[in-house]
Amino acid sequence: MLADFLFIQAHVAWERTEWGPVLLLFRQITALQPHVTLFWDMAAWHMAWNASAATMNDPSQRRLALRVKAQREYFAIGKDFLERGIRNNPDNPKLYESMARLYREKYDDHARAGEFFRKAADCPGAPSYDKRFSAYELSYCQGWERQAYLQLRRLYDEGERERLPTLIKRLKYLEAKLNIPTDQRIPEH
C-alpha cells in the first residue's frame, strides 16, 4: 500500500516536472515492490524519456553541452532502472522490450535493441512481435544483414499472419543488399 501511495506522489511530482523527487520516489517504490514491473517501467520512462526531454528544453541552461550531459545521465538512470527491474523479474518480457526501445530510440544501438527484443521473445508468454522486432533491429546493423535476412525469411515462410508490411519491406531491402537470386526472393506484394 505504501508503494501505491508513493506512486501517486511520483505522478504528482511528474506533473510538476520535479525530476529529483520523481527519481527519489521511484527508487523508494521499486525498493518496496521489486516484483511489480509497472513501477520499474514507469521509473525508466520518466527518467529516459520525460526528464531527458525536459532537460534538453530547459531555457535556464544556455550551454548545450551541459544539457546533453544531463540528458545522457537521465538515459543512464532509466537504463539502470530497467537493468535492476530485469534482475528482479527475469521472466517478464515487458522490461526487456522497454530496454530494447531504450537502446533503439535513445542510444541508436540497433544491435543491443535486437538482443533485448530476442530476450523478450524468449520469455514465457511473450508477444509474437518480439521475435519479429528482434530481426528488424538486426536488419539495420552493418554486418548482421545475412542473419537478419534468415530470421525474417523464416518468419515470412510461417505464413500470411507474419507477412506484415514492415517485414516485407525489410526483406525486400535485404534481398537487394545481399544480392539474393531473383528466383529465391519473395514475390512482389
- By C-alpha distance, which of 106, 134, 109, 113 is closest to 45? 106
* Residues whose CB falls within 8 Å of the CB of residue 55, separated by 6 or more in sequence, listed in order: 19, 61, 67, 70, 71, 74
Task: State the Cα angle at 136 between 133 and 142, rounded to 5°.
Answer: 140
Note the pLDDT tens digit of each residue in 136-188: 999 999 999 999 999 999 999 999 999 999 999 999 999 999 999 999 999 98
Compute the average pLDDT of residues 83-106: 98
Note the pLDDT tens digit of each residue in 25-49: 999 999 999 999 999 999 999 999 9
Note the pLDDT tens digit of each residue in 95-136: 999 999 999 999 999 999 999 999 999 999 999 999 999 999
pLDDT of res. 82: 98
> How much is the pTM?
0.91
Indicate the Cα dihedral angle 157, 183, 150, 170, nearest 10°: -90
